[in-house]
Amino acid sequence: MTVELLAGLIVIALGIVQVILQAGEFRRVHGVPYANTAQDTPSPVPDSVLLGRLTRALRNLHETLPFFLGTVIILALMDHSTAATRISALAFAGARVVYLPLYMMGIPYLRGLVWMVSFVALIVLVGSALGAADWSLLTSRS
């Protein structure tokens, strides 16, 4: 297993933790009976501040997770692991781990900075994969 794939596994585990936290808070706020419905009608109980933050943090992870996982899988299939890709993958995973409690606590500017670290790490990963790609495959006639 590459460091990049290990970082992917860490982020998947983080995502599962986020789902558990969000679902638990949803059930605490709205009750288990409502949570077990199709929720076709809005709950009479408003979301808590924490539930809103957990929901948005999970949605935010969902926005970048496919790109991150796809890229680290592609890097592994390309057998392309460099210091830059290893550091970037770990930076992405670490920033995402730090991002969640910052979001839960409602810390705005530091949270934005941590998100930016994760996004720059993702850009470095994608750039590295694009740079290592065999572009001649687009013009070969096989």
Give the residue carrying structure tokens 């941590």: 114
Q: How much is the pTM?
A: 0.93
Q: What pLDDT score was predicted for residue 140?
A: 74
Query: What is the per-residue pLDDT across 40-87, written as a single tens digit (0 to 9) for each?
Result: 999 999 999 999 999 999 999 999 999 999 999 999 999 999 999 999
> Which CATH fold would you assign to the domain 3-129?
Four Helix Bundle (Hemerythrin (Met), subunit A) (1.20.120)
Query: What is the per-residue pLDDT across 82-110, written as a single tens digit (0 to 9) for each?
Result: 999 999 999 999 999 999 999 999 999 99
**Whether the predicted pLDDT of 141 surpasses 90:** no
Q: What pLDDT score was predicted for residue 51?
A: 97
**Whether the predicted pLDDT of 24 surpasses 70:** yes
Q: What pLDDT score was predicted for residue 142?
A: 61
Q: What is the 3-state secondary structure (H, E, C) of 41-104?
A: CCCCCCCCHHHHHHHHHHHHHHHHHHHHHHHHHHHHHCCCCCHHHHHHHHHHHHHHHHHHHHHH
